[in-house]
């Protein structure tokens, strides 16, 4: 690690200004906010502290992120509300699947009995509206949504179309509010506002902080705001509730399946505890600055060690220091023997691989996870707890909010490769083919190539997945997730079957190229101390050249790109 830089400050404490109509983008608010990077985590932190990282452009993309769509998936589940799309009808079409995502969850597991509160409507902007403006349509839609559903709040999300034509969102809200009983919450979620996905969440939280959170409520010392549960699974919500209830605390899960009242009373909580620290950063800072609710954002409850730390942090804000030690002791007695058994099972598999000659003596099983930047800090530590080595991690974007946590992570588990790429499947495929991990951990919206891993597992399934094996958070999650990892190695039949039917989707030259081949100015992304990427496409094949924690040949993107272009022109 670059110890001489560890004391350089990261100055991203921009005040949350609720007088503004919306939040600044992550690119505007933070010193570093990018969606393309390939190199070591230590160099990523170094570049953040030196502010030498810049946002590049791509000359080719397979897909992209949408600030509106990612918000809509969460806002649709808020009870007593209507989600109003100020957009063409297509932007709202995806919400019809929301019922199917959650209707299979048993009511006894906490699902509302009636999912009829999933209300999504659209202003249905047409070609004519794009020319003449859609403000009148928005006012009419606000009145109709209020009349039809009698909600407590109406969340208005904007689209690329409404943003391009410059409709006055606040003007329409001010015109409609006197005629509407529901509180109208405008959220500026135009897809083109930012290339950093998290900006969309900031825009939603800005609207909630400005229009919904109440200042007139007394402090509730036993109330804990827990953010971003459905970045994980339904079973995680049950596990977190179980643990905090044992401490005599009440949990305010936000935003999925929260009521409007739950959002209003966030300002009365004793503390805000994150599940994903970057997802909820804007909210946590806003609650702290404007409502006096403290927060922490450097630990998430994933694995035994981090769950201990997460619970202790909550206890320090709620006066439960004694109770939390009793809880941790009790939980350890139940779950650590189970985790030890899983660790031993993975060690047995590693030894069998050594005996077969597919792994050297002393080498660990390796894993790559396609995760968000906030989840990396939990996944990496827990995989190390299980005896695995983190070969690399993928994230859809990166910003300086997580840099200190990444710095601590490198010191805790060692350095490893980070690929920042927003839903670019080819980039992931390149990385997985280059490193050939033993375990490929996937998410529904990210992925590598099945052929390049010994076996595959999951980061998480759909947010409504309620099978007991899908718990990841807390102590039960350590066992549930660890067992999934073990089972992935014990039964590789599915991996082999899929690989037999999976033709490579890319030309051979792509697997030899820089993962950021299609990023313009990639040599400028990280300007200082570039390392060398091995150009051998079979690097790490059959585990005969795996890297160790000295990372003497770690990957960066400072190698000769001429070879990549030569491949590109050749084919």
Output phi, psi for 346, to 5 deg.
Answer: -70, -35
Vertex 362: Cα angle to 359 and 364 (nearest 5): 65
**Would you say residue 94 has pLDDT above 80?**
no
| Each residue's pLDDT tens digit, 395-429 | 888 999 899 999 999 999 999 999 998 888 888 88
Count, residues in the chain? 571
- The secondary structure element, H or E, covering residue 33 is strand 33-34
Across 95-104, 319-328, 432-441, least confident range: 95-104
Burial 478-496 (b: 16+ CB within 10 A, else e): bbbbbbbbbebbeeeeebe
| Each residue's pLDDT tens digit, 342-381 | 999 999 999 999 999 999 999 999 998 877 788 888 889 9
- The secondary structure element, H or E, covering residue 458 is strand 455-458
Q: Which of 465, 466, 444, 467 is nearest to 456 (CA)?
A: 444
Secondary structure (DSSP) of 450-463: GGGSSEEEES---T
Indicate the pLDDT class of residue 150, thresholds 50, 70 and 90: very high
Give CA–CA dist 492/187, Å, rounded.
45
| Token pair 């969606």: residue | 35
Q: Could you count the other beta carbons within 10 Å of the beta carbon of residue 357?
A: 10
Q: How far is CA 199 from CA 26, 36, 98, 316, in A?
A: 6, 16, 23, 30
- What's the rounded mean pLDDT across residues 46-54? 88
Query: At the top level of CATH, which class does the domain 67-191 belong to?
Result: alpha beta
Indicate the pLDDT class of residue 528, thresholds 50, 70 and 90: very low
Please tell me the pTM assigned to this model.
0.86
Indicate the pLDDT class of residue 545, thresholds 50, 70 and 90: very low
Indicate the pLDDT class of residue 208, thresholds 50, 70 and 90: very high
- What's the rounded mean pLDDT across residues 227-252? 88
The pLDDT of residue 566: 33
Confirm if 486 and 388 have CB atoms less than 8 A apart: no
The pLDDT of residue 449: 55
Give CA–CA dist 94/75, Å, rounded.
13
| Each residue's pLDDT tens digit, 2-37 | 333 344 444 466 889 999 999 999 988 888 899 889
Give CA–CA dist 184/172, Å, rounded.
10
The pLDDT of residue 529: 39
Domain ranges for the chain, please list them. 67-191
The pLDDT of residue 571: 36
- What's the rounded mean pLDDT across residues 159-184? 96
- The secondary structure element, H or E, covering residue 366 is strand 366-370
The pLDDT of residue 519: 86
Give CA–CA dist 42/244, Å, rounded.
35
Give CA–CA dist 490/153, Å, rounded.
49
**Would you say residue 161 has pLDDT above 70?**
yes
- What's the rounded mean pLDDT across residues 182-209? 93
- What's the rounded mean pLDDT across residues 191-203? 89
Give CA–CA dist 363/536, Å, rounded.
21
Tokens of 37: 């990077």
Give CA–CA dist 200/282, Å, rounded.
11
Across 106-110, 160-164, 256-260, 281-285, least confident range: 106-110
Identify the three-state secondary structure at position 383.
Answer: helix
Give CA–CA dist 386/345, Å, rounded.
10
- What's the rounded mean pLDDT across residues 149-169? 95
The dihedral region occupied by 319, where left means phi > 0, alpha psi between -120 and 50, and beta the remainder, is left
Secondary structure (DSSP) of 50-107: HT-----EES--S----HHHHHHHHHTT-BTEEEEEES-GGGGGGGGGHHHHHTTS-G
The pLDDT of residue 551: 34
Q: How far is CA 479 from CA 137, 306, 346, 514, 524, in A?
A: 52, 14, 13, 37, 43
Question: Number of C-alpha atoms within 13 angstroms, CB side, residue 254?
Answer: 29
- What's the rounded mean pLDDT across residues 335-346? 97
Q: Which of 395, 446, 448, 445 is nearest to 418 (CA)?
A: 395
Q: How far is CA 571 from CA 34, 512, 522, 567, in A?
A: 30, 12, 21, 6
Tokens of 221: 């010392």
Q: Could you count the other beta carbons within 10 Å of the beta carbon of residue 527?
A: 13
- What's the rounded mean pLDDT across residues 470-478? 91
Output phi, psi for 370, to 5 deg.
Answer: -90, 90
Across 285-289, 350-354, 364-368, 548-552, least confident range: 548-552
């Amino acid at each position: 690690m670059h110890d001489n830089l560890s004391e350089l400050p990261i100055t991203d404490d921009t005040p949350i200004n609720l007088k503004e109509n919306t939040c600044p983008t992550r690119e505007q608010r933070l010193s570093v906010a990018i969606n393309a990077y390939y190199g070591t985590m230590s160099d990523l932190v170094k570049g953040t502290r030196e502010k030498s990282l810049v946002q590049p452009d791509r000359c080719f993309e397979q897909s992209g992120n949408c600030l509106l769509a990612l918000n809509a998936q969460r806002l649709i589940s808020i009870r007593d509300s209507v989600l109003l799309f100020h957009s063409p009808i297509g932007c709202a079409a995806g919400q019809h699947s929301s019922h199917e995502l959650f209707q299979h969850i048993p009511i006894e597991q906490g699902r509302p009995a009636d999912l009829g509160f999933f209300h999504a409507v659209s202003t249905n902007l047409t070609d004519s509206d794009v020319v003449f403006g859609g403000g009148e349509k928005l006012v009419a839609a606000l009145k109709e949504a209020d009349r039809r559903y009698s909600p407590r709040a109406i969340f208005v999300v904007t689209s690329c179309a409404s943003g391009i034509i410059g409709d006055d969102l606040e003007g329409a809200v001010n015109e409609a509010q006197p005629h509407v009983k529901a509180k109208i919450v405008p959220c500026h979620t135009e897809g083109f506002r930012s290339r950093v996905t998290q900006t969309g969440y900031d825009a939603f939280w800005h609207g909630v902080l400005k229009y919904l959170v109440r200042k007139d409520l007394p402090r509730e010392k036993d109330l804990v705001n827990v953010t971003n549960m459905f970045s994980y699974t339904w079973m995680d919500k049950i596990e977190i509730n179980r643990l905090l209830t044992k401490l005599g605390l009440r949990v305010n899960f936000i935003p999925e399946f929260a009521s409007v009242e739950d959002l209003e009373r966030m300002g009365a909580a004793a503390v805000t505890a994150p599940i994903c620290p970057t997802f909820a950063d804007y909210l946590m800072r806003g609650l702290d600055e404007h409502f006096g609710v403290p927060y922490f954002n450097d630990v998430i409850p994933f694995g035994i060690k981090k769950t201990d730390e997460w619970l202790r942090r909550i206890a320090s804000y709620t006066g439960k220091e004694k109770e939390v030690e009793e809880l941790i002791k009790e939980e350890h007695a139940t779950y650590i023997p189970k985790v030890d058994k899983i660790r031993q099972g993975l060690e047995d598999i590693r030894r069998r691989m050594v005996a077969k000659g597919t792994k050297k003596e002393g080498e660990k099983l390796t894993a790559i996870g396609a995760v968000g930047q906030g989840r990396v800090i939990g996944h990496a530590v827990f995989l190390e707890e299980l005896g695995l080595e983190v070969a690399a991690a993928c994230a859809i974007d990166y910003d300086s909010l997580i840099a200190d946590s990444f710095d601590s992570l490198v010191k805790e588990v060692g350095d490893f490769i980070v690929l920042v790429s927003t839903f670019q499947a080819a980039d992931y495929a390149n990385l997985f083919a280059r490193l050939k991990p033993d375990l490929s951990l996937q998410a529904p919206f990210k992925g590598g190539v099945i052929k390049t891993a010994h076996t595959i597992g999951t980061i998480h399934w759909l947010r409504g997945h309620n099978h007991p094996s899908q718990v990841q958070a807390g102590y039960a999650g350590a066992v549930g997730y660890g067992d999934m990892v073990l089972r992935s190695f014990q039964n590789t039949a599915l991996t082999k079957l899929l690989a037999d039917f999976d033709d490579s989707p890319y030309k051979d030259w792509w697997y030899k190229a820089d993962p950021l081949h299609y990023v313009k100015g990639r040599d400028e992304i990280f300007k200082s101390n570039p390392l060398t990427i091995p150009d051998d496409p079979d690097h790490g094949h059959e585990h005969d050249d795996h890297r160790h924690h000295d990372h003497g040949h770690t990957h960066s993107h400072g190698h000769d790109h001429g070879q990549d272009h030569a491949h590109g022109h050749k084919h």
